[in-house]
């Protein structure tokens, strides 16, 4: 993929070099009035495809100079009025008069097609100084999926949505990433309002996403989406914490529209994998009129059955002494000579079961006859029942009892995920000031239900209790008094966010060549994170010996021991933010934007961030853009509060291992310190070229440096660690992990896109699009071991183990690309797409430092007709 990208960029440069010099320009001027003839000030005038724009003065007049010769579409928009357009032909030196008369319409805060990237009025992404992709509903519906995250990955190579397996709850709630960074480095908005994160902490994930909590896009039905906007640039100065990689804004459908319902069904079927991954989904919507307003109602149900690519296990013999032999397994992992009763394959590698019920609504109602103000609200409720698997426990494993599972067992992590949100507010226009004030609340919780498992320490009895307790004498006071089980409620994690905000914006005439778009606002946010303990049997240690030795069997529900009372917590924090954003055209060709933001958190302090961006269009066919800014991400409340300890017995000793909050006394004894915010420096630069009216090519370079990255550190468990813990009063702790600001990283890459639209036949249209993303992550600083461990002579290799380092730098494909052709004529539509995923490397826990698994790139081809 590398050479094609070089050739594409070289071709773009040659195109620019061959572009003719612009001819003498002209001028367009006129006035904008309402249906009663009253002048409209601050109306936005745009000459599409040129980057030229202005706003009307107090008398409704406007003038745009430097218009290239040719025929142009001039568009005018004003809050509370219908948009107006006109075709204007300009010759060199001409002054063309073009007036507009606008009728009233229902209000929006800003009459724009693009929300992210700027707080000024923009009608298209190409007008912005930063790279923004806009994917309309029509394009989203052509991607062959109803999962919002899968759709977004299909249309945007900058987005990655890994389908991880055997990651406990990570099989049920999967985060997406932007530009190769962590899931919590991307801010997600819905209708411009911050979306709450999931309650799940990815503590079983290695690499870039280790210890993160992202946003679950699959809680929003794709049928509710009018468009998705992806800002591929750091934006903390404009939107606050988390926007280091960029911003994804989901814009909901509004207005009135006829009811619709669609159904999809699919399955992967072959001789090797029959009836694999059957997926059925039904979704629909209805835009219901309510007086002058409307409410959009949306729903979706999805049933996705598991996929499995596991091979037969050549080691399991169910105690018969007759395992499946390697030469009895064919080249696709199937057993051809069955030698024991264990079902094959007995592991699970692939998607788990998932059933989703999603609902959403979007309400808007003008509150005055003129339509200059409106109330709005939106929100939804979703429920997911999902399942993932752990590693198989074989017949003779010390985590099994033959009396319960004679052939061993494959434990399930079944997650019940509940998500709901609601937002509402008032927006409109007062004395030429646009305002938007409102409040938003979001909730997400995850119930851990562990099935097809057991708690080995409770013994082999499912009827009467047989676990002896710590004194190992059955019938005494310390007995747990409960039998074993095959399913457990292992606890619940909860995440909530409450946001109240006010935003104000207005173009101001300050004597510059164009009005200055000035915006400012304030926001208050309260976050809550809680852990609720599981049932007693899910975490208790019954101290029963295991089935084949004198050692005590491992405690807790196998695959995921429940949260104990000592793990339970309920924390909250607040923060307050102020921002200001200024944008103007210094010349008809040069747009500049400057933004600044102040944030104050009650748990770690304050942070000031800033950003500057510029867009220069020397000719109609060429646009140059660049931005530089600082950013930050506050420590996630879940990273501050999450803790989980598991108790086991090894070689006759009671051992506790787990993840501890940084303020836990045991973590403090090993050198933990309070978490600080991550800080970033983001630079981007690019160009957009239009060698012909139906051809657009863009290329953008980005460089993101993040200091003091928060990660879940390596497990400290050497002799020096144990001595320190014993001396601090924790003799049973034998392994500790905690979060730390332990490393600095650099992420850089290139995004290239191209689009061509041509006529096909007499009435058909053929759209050809291509996009390529190259992203590379590098670690260039890792903190040394805490001084207390160094002083004790610790042999720990460092804060970062090799598995995590490989995961950060090499776990995702460096190259991603798509080429798509879409043909439409009348009601017929056909789509063909080629997607490429570059090679990557990974490693598993327990591998040697130099042991890596290398995977080559893969190409996928799909087609759709309708």
Residue by residue, what is the 3-state secondary structure of 630-697? EEEECCCHHHHHCCEEEEEEECCEEEEEEECCCCCHHHHHCCCCCCCCEEEEEEEEEEEEEEECCEEE
User: How far, CA to CA in Å, does 706 sit from each of 84, 175, 234, 412, 744?
Assistant: 45, 20, 11, 37, 6
pLDDT per residue as tens digits for the range 327-366: 677 777 777 777 888 888 888 888 889 999 999 999 999 8
**pLDDT greater than 60 at residue 18:** no
Return residue ranges of the chain for CATH 2.60.40.1120: 24-105
Contact 861, 836 (CB under 8 A): no
Structure tokens given for 687: 């160009």
DSSP characters over 517-531 = EEEEEEEEEEEEEEE
**d(C-alpha 788, C-alpha 667), whole Å:** 11
- How far is residue 774's CA from residue 814's CA, in Å, rounded to a whole number? 5
Res 452 pLDDT > 70: yes
Per DSSP bridges, beta strands 590-601 and 605-619 are antiparallel
385-444 pLDDT, tens digit per residue, is: 999 888 888 888 888 999 999 999 999 999 999 999 999 999 988 888 889 999 999 999
Rounded to an integer, the average pLDDT of 258-262 is 90
Q: Which two tokens stand for residue 8?
A: 């594409």
Nearest-angstrom CA–CA distance, 192 and 452: 43
Residues 6+ apart with CB under 8 A from 377: 361, 363, 422, 423, 424, 425
Tell me: pLDDT of 232 over 50: yes
Give SS3 for 81: strand
pLDDT of 803 > 90? The answer is no
Distances (CA, A) of 801 to 206, 207, 701, 724, 848: 10, 10, 31, 21, 10
Bridge pairing between strands 815-825 and 828-837: antiparallel
CATH superfamily of 24-105: Carboxypeptidase-like, regulatory domain (2.60.40.1120)
**Whether pLDDT at 752 is above 60:** yes
Distance, CA of 508 to CA of 512 (rounded, Å): 10
Structure tokens at 815: 């190259």
b/e map 647-682, b = 16+ CB within 10 Å: bbbeeeebbbbbbbbbebebbbbbbbeebbbbbbbb
Percent of the chain with pLDDT over 90: 48
The highest-confidence range among 10-19, 423-432, 850-859, by mean pLDDT, is 423-432
Closest C-alpha to 421, from 170, 255, 540, 250: 250
How many C-alpha atoms does 345 have within 13 Å on its Cβ side?
Answer: 18
Angle value at C-alpha 31, between 26 and 36, nearest 5 degrees: 160
Q: Which segment of 432-436, 464-468, 520-524 scores lowest on mean pLDDT?
A: 432-436
Name the average pLDDT for the chain. Answer: 85
Whether 568 and 528 have beta carbons less than 8 Å apart is answered as no
Residue 653 Cα to chain centre, angstroms: 43
Over residues 785-807, mean pLDDT: 87
CA dihedral sign, ordered 634, 637, 639, 641 = positive
**Residue 121: pLDDT above 50?**
no
pLDDT given at position 276: 81
Q: Tell me the percentage of the chain whose pLDDT exceeds 70.
A: 89
- Going by the DSSP 8-state scheme, the letter that residue 197 receives in this structure is P
pLDDT at 3: 45
Q: Which residues contact 490 (CB under 8 A, 6 or more apart)?
A: 448, 449, 450, 534, 535, 538, 539, 557, 560, 561, 562, 563
Task: State mean pLDDT over 22-32.
Answer: 77
CB 79 within 8 A of CB 32: no
pLDDT range class, residue 14, cuts 50, 70, 90: very low
Lowest mean pLDDT among 2-6, 370-374, 464-468, 778-782: 2-6
Rounded to an integer, the average pLDDT of 232-257 is 90
In the prediction, which pLDDT does 326 show? 67
Q: Which residues pair with 387 in a beta bridge?
A: 414
Average pLDDT (11-35) is: 59
The pLDDT of residue 110 is above 80: no
Q: Which helix (H) or strand (E) holds 152?
A: helix 148-155
Cβ–Cβ < 8 Å for 226, 257: no
* Distance of alpha carbon 848 from alpha carbon 250, whole angstroms: 43
User: Both tokens of residue 449?
Assistant: 């239900």
């Amino acid at each position: 993929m590398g050479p094609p990208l070089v050739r594409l960029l070289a071709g773009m440069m040659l195109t620019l070099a061959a572009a003719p010099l612009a001819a003498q320009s002209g001028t367009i001027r006129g006035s904008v009035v309402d249906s009663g003839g009253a002048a409209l000030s601050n109306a936005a005038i745009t000459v599409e495809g040129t980057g030229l724009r202005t706003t009307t003065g107090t008398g409704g007049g406007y003038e745009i100079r430097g218009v290239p010769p040719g025929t142009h579409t001039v568009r005018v928009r004003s809050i509370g009025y219908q948009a107006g357009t006109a075709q204007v032909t300009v010759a060199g030196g001409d002054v063309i008069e073009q007036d507009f008369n606008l009728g009233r319409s229902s209000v929006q805060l800003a009459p724009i097609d693009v929300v992210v990237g700027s707080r000024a009025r923009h009608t298209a992404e190409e007008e912005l100084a930063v790279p923004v992709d806009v994917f309309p509903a029509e394009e989203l519906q052509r991607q062959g999926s109803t999962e919002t995250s899968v759709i977004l990955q299909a249309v945007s190579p900058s987005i990655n949505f890994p389908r991880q397996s055997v990651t406990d709850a990570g099989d049920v709630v999967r985060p997406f990433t932007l530009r190769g960074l962590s899931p919590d480095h991307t801010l997600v908005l819905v209708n411009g309002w911050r979306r709450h994160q999931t309650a799940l902490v990815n503590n079983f994930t290695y690499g870039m996403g280790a210890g993160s909590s992202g946003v679950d896009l699959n809680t929003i039905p794709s049928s509710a989406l009018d468009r998705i906007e992806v800002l591929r640039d750091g934006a903390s100065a404009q939107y606050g914490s988390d926007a280091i990689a960029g911003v994804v804004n989901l814009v909901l459908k509004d207005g009135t529209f006829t009811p619709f319902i669609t159904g999809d069904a699919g399955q992967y079927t072959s001789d090797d994998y029959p009836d694999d991954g059957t997926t059925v989904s039904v979704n629909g919507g209805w835009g219901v009129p309510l007086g002058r307003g409307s409410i959009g109602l949306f729903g979706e149900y999805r049933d996705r059955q598991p996929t499995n690519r596991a091979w037969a296990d050549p080691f399991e013999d169910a105690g018969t002494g007759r395992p499946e032999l390697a030469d009895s397994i064919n080249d696709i992992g199937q057993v051809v000579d069955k030698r024991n009763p264990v079902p094959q394959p007995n592991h699970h590698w692939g998607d788990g079961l998932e059933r989703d019920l999603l609902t959403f609504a979007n309400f808007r109602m003008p509150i005055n006859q003129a339509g200059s103000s409106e109330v709005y609200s939106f929100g939804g409720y979703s429920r997911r029942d999902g399942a993932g698997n752990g590693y198989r426990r074989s017949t003779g494993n010390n985590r099994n009892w033959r009396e319960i599972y004679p052939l061993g067992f494959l434990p399930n992590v079944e997650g019940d995920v509940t998500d709901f949100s609601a937002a509402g507010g008032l927006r409109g226009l007062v004395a030429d000031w646009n305002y938007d004030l409102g409040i938003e609340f979001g909730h997400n919780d995850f119930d851990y239900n562990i099935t097809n498992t057991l708690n080995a320490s409770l013994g082999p009895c499912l009827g009467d209790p047989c676990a002896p307790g710590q004194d190992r004498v059955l019938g005494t006071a310390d007995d747990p008094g409960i039998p074993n089980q095959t399913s457990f409620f292992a606890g619940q994690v909860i995440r909530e966010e409450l946001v109240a905000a006010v935003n104000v914006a207005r173009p101001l005439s300050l004597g510059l060549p164009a009005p200055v778009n000035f915006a400012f606002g304030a926001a208050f946010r309260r976050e809550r994170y809680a852990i609720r303990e599981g049932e007693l049997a899910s975490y208790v240690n019954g101290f029963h010996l295991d089935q084949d030795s004198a050692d005590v069997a491992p405690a807790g529900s196998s695959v995921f021991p429940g949260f104990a009372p000592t793990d339970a917590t309920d924390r909250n924090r607040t923060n307050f933010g102020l921002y200001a954003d200024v944008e103007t055209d210094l010349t008809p060709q040069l747009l500049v934007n400057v933004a600044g933001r102040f944030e104050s958190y009650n748990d770690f302090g304050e942070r000031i961030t800033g950003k500057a961006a510029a867009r220069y269009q020397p000719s109609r066919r060429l646009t140059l853009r660049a931005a530089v800014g600082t950013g930050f991400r506050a420590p996630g409340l879940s990273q501050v509060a999450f803790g989980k300890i598991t108790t086991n017995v090894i070689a006759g000793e009671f051992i506790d291992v787990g993840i501890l909050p940084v303020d836990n006394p045991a973590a403090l004894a090993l050198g933990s310190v309070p978490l600080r915010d991550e800080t970033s420096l983001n630079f981007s630069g690019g160009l957009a070229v239009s060698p012909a009216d139906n051809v657009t090519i863009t290329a953008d370079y980005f460089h993101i440096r993040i200091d003091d990255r928060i990660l879940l550190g390596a497990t400290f468990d050497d002799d020096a660690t144990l001595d320190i813990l014993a001396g601090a009063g924790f003799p049973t702790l034998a392994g500790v992990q905690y979060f730390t600001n332990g490393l600095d990283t650099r992420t850089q890459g290139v995004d290239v896109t191209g689009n061509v639209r041509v006529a096909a036949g007499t009435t058909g249209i053929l759209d050809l699009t291509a996009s390529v993303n190259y992203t590379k992550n590098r670690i260039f600083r890792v903190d040394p071991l805490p001084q207390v461990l160094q002083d004790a002579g610790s042999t720990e290799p460092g804060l970062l183990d090799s598995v995590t380092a490989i995961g950060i730098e090499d776990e995702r494909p460096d190259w991603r690309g798509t080429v798509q052709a879409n043909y439409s004529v009348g009601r017929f539509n056909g789509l063909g797409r080629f997607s490429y995923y570059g090679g990557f490397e990974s490693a598993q826990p327990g591998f040697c430092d130099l042991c890596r698994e290398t995977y080559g790139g893969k190409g996928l081809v799909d087609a759709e007709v309708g």
